[in-house]
Structure 1
C-alpha cells in the first residue's frame, strides 16, 4: 500500500514542541528568493520597520507555528569568507526572528568536530527528520 508523504505545512501543523532546521550550503538558488537576492545585490535593503514590504507566506507559517508554543530553531553552517548569498541571508535574518525563529550561525571551520549529516534537514519534535536535497548549484530537488 502506498503511503502519502505529508507536505511541509502539514508537518509543521503537527509539530508540538520543536522544529529545528539545519542549513549547510553556501548558496541556494530557489526561484522564490532569486528576485529578492538579485535586488539585494543591486543595493536594495528591506526596512525592518516596514513589515508589509517583506512579510511572506513562509513567515506566516513560522509565526503561526511559534504562536502555538513550538520552538523553531535554525542553524546555519557557513564558510568564511561568506558568499554573497550568505551575506544576503544574514541581512534578511531579521525576518526569521520577527516570525519567532531562533537563528544561529556557525563558521564551517568550527564544525569540523561535529557529526553532521550530508544534507540540510528539519527535525520535528525530536522524532521526525525531513531532508532537503539540492543540486550542486543550490537548486532545490526534493524532500526525503
Structure 2
C-alpha cells in the first residue's frame, strides 16, 4: 500500500493515547532525506535556535498530536559503531524532542534476546499496526496495516522491551 504524508498525518491524528515507532535499520534511503543527508555530509548541522529551519511538516504534526495528549515515542535499534546514516539521524533528533517526541536508542548487541517483528512499525493506541517495509538498500517498498490483536500485542511487547533497555536520547552519545 502506498502512503502519502497527508494520509499518514490523518492516521497519527486519529491516535487518542499513543503512537510508538520502532526503527531497526542502520540505513534508510528515503528520497525526501537525500538533500538533508548530503548537506549533513558536507558539514551542515541544524541550529537549535533556528526552529524555522527544521524538518517541516513532520515536526508541526508531532507538536499538534502531542499537544492533544498523545504520547509519541520512537525507539531505534542501532549497530555500533553507528552507521553514517544513524549519526545523521542522531544529529537532528533534538528537533523531534523539541516537538514533543520521546526518543531512545538501543545498541543492537543488547537486542539479541528480544522477540522482534521483521519490519519497522508504528503502533497506534496499541491496536493498529503499520509496518513500513524497506528493501535491502533501505528504500521504502510499501506499507502494510493490521488490527490483528496478536500482531498488535507482539508489536506492543517488542516496543516496550526495546524501550525498557534503550538509552534516552540525551544520554546516548555517538
Calculate the aligned-residue CA RMSD, in Å: 1.1
Say whether 1:43 aligns with 2:28.
no
> What TM-score does the superposition give when structure 2 sets the normalisation length?
0.78
Distance in 2 separating the partners of 1:55 and 1:49: 14
Length, aligned pairs only:
139
Q: Which has the higher helix share?
A: 2
Which 4+ residue blocks in structure 1 deviate beyond 2 angstroms? none
- Residue 163 of structure 2 aligns with which residue? none
Deviation at 1:61, TM superposition (A): 1.0
Flag structure 1 segments of 5+ consecutive residues without an equivalent. Answer: 1-5
What is the TM-score of this pair, normalised by structure 1?
0.94
Q: For the residues of structure 1 that align with 2:45 and 2:117, how far apart are their CA atoms?
A: 33
1:26-83 Cα distance to aligned partner (Å, 9 max, x none): 0111111111011001101111110111141011111111011000000000001100
State how far apart, in whole Å, the 2-side matches of 1:80 and 1:56 are.
Answer: 29
SS at match of 1:59: helix
Larger RCO, structure (CA 8 Å, separation 6 or more):
1
Gaps of 5+ in 2: 1-5, 145-174
- 1:69 maps to 2:45: no
